[in-house]
Amino acid sequence: MIEKNKNLLKKYNEKGWVKIKSFLPKKSIIKINDSLDKFLEAKIKKYSGRDINFTEKKINSFHKLADSKFVKKNLAGNKKIKKTAEYFLKEKSKFMASELFAKPAKYGLAVPNHQDNYYWCIDNANALTIWIALDKVSKLNGSLCYYEKSHCVGIFKHSPSFSKGSSQKIANNGVLKRFKKIYTNLHPGDALIHHSLIIHGSERNKSGNSRRGLTLQFRGKNSFIDLKKRKNYEKELKQQIKARKYS
């Protein structure tokens, strides 16, 4: 049981992220991949704009994965996953969203360095992402990289990235030198848990192997969205998508 591993919580609090090996068994990953493929094949034409992004006619990222009944019931509603979120949040959790970051072989796009809570606007930032590897993941095919302990500082200034699937980036790259940069290596079924304030991103996938990862996002039950900040962010996002479309 994860509750017995106090070192994981200590590392999460200190560094802003942890890795859990074999979080889900291989048979579950096979089932997840099969379910996602069937869902996307059947529903892909329903989505456009900010909800789905392509590279070379292949899905690079999909941001409405909670529309999948399988994901909502079998993953977001999974007792082990919910308990894991609540262990790190230190309270009951509220499921927010699920996304697929596919990074197809040779063409997967980079994700600029950013903080999730710049998008989410959770008032006390007590929120996290559970990032589950569906493929083998390494620096070669665009693994996540974290800037350790950056979650302790608060929100950094962001600026428009004009990147598909990730609208904002850290405005001043100079601040990144203050933190240790760590690349992650994962096997299918491994999971990353990261704080809503840790700076993270990923590089392009130029390799011959895909790098699919699925995220589940949770906030504490006593954490709420700052509606004013969220409204401002949504306004910025619409302007950026419009500018990107006509650039």
> At 187, which CATH number?
2.60.120.620
CA-based nearest residue to 222, from 86, 99, 76, 75: 86
d(CA 95, CA 115): 18
Strands 52-55, 58-62: pairing is antiparallel
Q: Whole-model pTM above 0.75?
A: yes
Distance CA 194, CA 184 (A): 12
| DSSP secondary structure code for residue 43 in this structure | H
SS3 129: strand
Domain count across the chain: 1
What's the domain range around 83?
A: 2-245
pLDDT tens for the 247 residues of the chain, in order = 565 577 999 999 999 999 999 999 999 999 999 999 999 999 999 999 889 999 999 999 999 999 999 999 999 999 999 999 999 999 999 999 999 999 999 999 999 999 999 999 999 999 999 999 999 999 999 999 999 999 999 999 999 887 887 778 999 999 999 999 999 999 999 999 999 999 999 999 999 999 999 999 999 999 999 888 888 888 777 777 666 655 4
